[in-house]
Copies of this chain bind each other. A is one copy, B any other.
Amino acid sequence: MTVMRYQKALATAVRDEMAADPSVCYLGEDVVHSLRGVSSGLAAAHPGRVKDTPISEAAFTGFATGAAMAGMRPIVEYQIPTLLYVAFDQIVNQAQKIRLMTGGQTRVPVTYLFPGSGARLGLAGQHSDHPYTLLAHMGVKTLVPATPQDAYSLVRSAIRDDDPVAVFLPANCLPRKGDVDVAVTVPIGPAAIRREGTDVTVVAIGHLVHEALAVADDLADQVDVEVIDARAAHPFDWHTLTRSVTRTGRLVVLDDTNRTCGWAAEVAATAAEELFHHLRAPVRRVARADVPMPFAPVLERAVVPDREAITAAILETAKA
């Protein structure tokens, strides 16, 4: 057990998997010099298994698919989260569908890494998206680790998974410090209860887990908040949600993607379907406004979920 920064935990997970399994390889733009800080030292340690790609996201994503079908376990790093859009067909229409379309003849064990996803004050319209909802909607296993331990353990699980797995590493999490035990395995699937409480269930993902925890502490003498870290946008751990909402009867969902048809909508909708009779108050979502990220930080702050909005939603739900 050591204290590690999230970013370091992520890099260590990749390093450990590269060392453990010679079929793991690492592809992306400027990864040899490790522009995004995930692949430092990898190229020297594993010459030939770390490749700087041309600026060809669609092709190198498909390249990873083919390498995976041929026995490798590629990790693909995207320099910006919205590069997902450039490679979209190759992920959602190809890699993700091939196994079913071939009737199980092949596996596509590729890990897509999006380090520094989400907004980071001032990156504006094309560098601030946090597009995990899009992949969840398409059935892609989609992880958003919140803690250094999860950055380590979930990334290892992603690399070892035999399906395409996307991992978003929120910009707001990268500098966080926390305990990391490299012996701990975190499987893809189960959520984590980060704080137990009896009054309101808050489901969050990525950096919003920490916002939720901070607000929960602030409100501790008024409301006893349970905070669930979903860990994965897809698959979602309905079991843990059900257990919690059955007790609290109140649900707030935090989501860093556009509100309309966002990930929080899925959680809220399922609650309205399956947990209706347990709900004692309307479900509340706190999500991004449906708008491209405006550049000015003052505007950015106005459209992303913040503690004020989270606090208001929790209080409103607790009192309703």
State the A residues within 8 Å of B (CB): 82, 85-86, 88-89, 92-93, 96-97, 100-101, 124-126, 129, 133-134, 136-139, 234, 236, 257-258, 260-274, 276-277, 279, 281-285, 290-292, 294-295
Contact = CB atoms under 8 A, between A and B. Distances in A.
Number of chain copies forming the complex:
2
Contact of A272 (B129, B234, B272, B277): B272
A276 B273 contact: no
24 contacts: A85-B88, A85-B92, A86-B89, A88-B88, A93-B126, A97-B125, A136-B260, A137-B137, A137-B257, A137-B261, A137-B262, A139-B292, A234-B260, A234-B261, A236-B260, A265-B268, A265-B269, A266-B269, A267-B269, A268-B268, A268-B273, A273-B282, A273-B284, A276-B279
Given A100-B292, A273-B285, A261 B89 contact: no
Contacts of A276: 279, 281-283
Given A88-B85, A269-B283, A272-B282, A260 B139 contact: yes
A100 B282 contact: no
A68 B91 CA distance: 30
Contact of A101 (B96, B124, B281): B124
A290 B234 CA distance: 11
B86 A258 contact: no
Contacts of A92: 85
